Amino acid sequence: MRLRSPDFWSGLALAALGGYTVYTARGWEYLGQDGPGPGFFPLWYGIAMLALSLLLVVKSGGEAVSWKGAGRAFATWGAFAVSVVLLKLAGFVVGFAALTFFMVAVMYRRPLAVAALVAIGTTGAFYLIFPLALGVQLP
């Protein structure tokens, strides 16, 4: 067992999910008059998840994960999450154009003019292909 191992922490997280699954499934009917209840299947996969994740925790070791560059990935994910909110509030054109602009200008450090061009170009292409050509509704 190694506290700094990613297997240790991911195993713990999955053990927590397994424990929660077992705990919740015990509140549902296991076997009823008509056969297995809603708690039957979740109880068993919850137990399996708990057992295997604890095994992973106990056996944890091995190579450390390099988190170099993960900040950029998380920043992109954050921008994507914000754009989902923007999609809901302002629609696809604004939300997606803002996301594209951010990725090109901030994450890839391209000139602002290039970022604006890519944002307008890709959003325009999406608009032309989906709602106009295919009749598919955008968010």
User: Which spans of this chain sit near other proteins (rule: CB under 8 A)?
Assistant: 6-7, 10, 14, 17-18, 21, 24, 28-29, 31-32, 34-38, 40-42, 45-46, 48-49, 52-53, 55-56, 59, 65, 67-70, 72-73, 75-77, 80-81, 84, 87-88, 92, 96, 99-100, 103-104, 107-108, 110, 118-119, 122-123, 126, 130, 134, 136-139
Least distance (Å) between residue 122 CB and other proteins = 6
Q: Which is nearer to other proteins, 4 or 24 (CB)?
A: 24
Segment holding 25, helix H or strand E: helix 6-25
What are the b/e assignments for 53-73, b being 16+ CB within 10 Å? bbebbeebeeeeeeeeeeeee
C-alpha–C-alpha distance, residues 131 and 79, integer Å:
24
Look up residue 80 and give its two tokens.
């994507």
Least distance (Å) between residue 102 CB and other proteins = 9
Q: Name the β-bridge partners of 111.
A: none
Least distance (Å) between residue 107 CB and other proteins = 6
Q: Which is nearer to other proteins, 68 or 113 (CB)?
A: 68
Least distance (Å) between residue 106 CB and other proteins = 11
- Listed in sequence order, the residues at least 6 apart from 4 whose beta carbon sits closer than 8 Å to its beta carbon are 64
Q: Which is nearer to other proteins, 1 or 41 (CB)?
A: 41
Q: Which phi and psi (to 5°) does residue 2 adopt? A: -130, 120
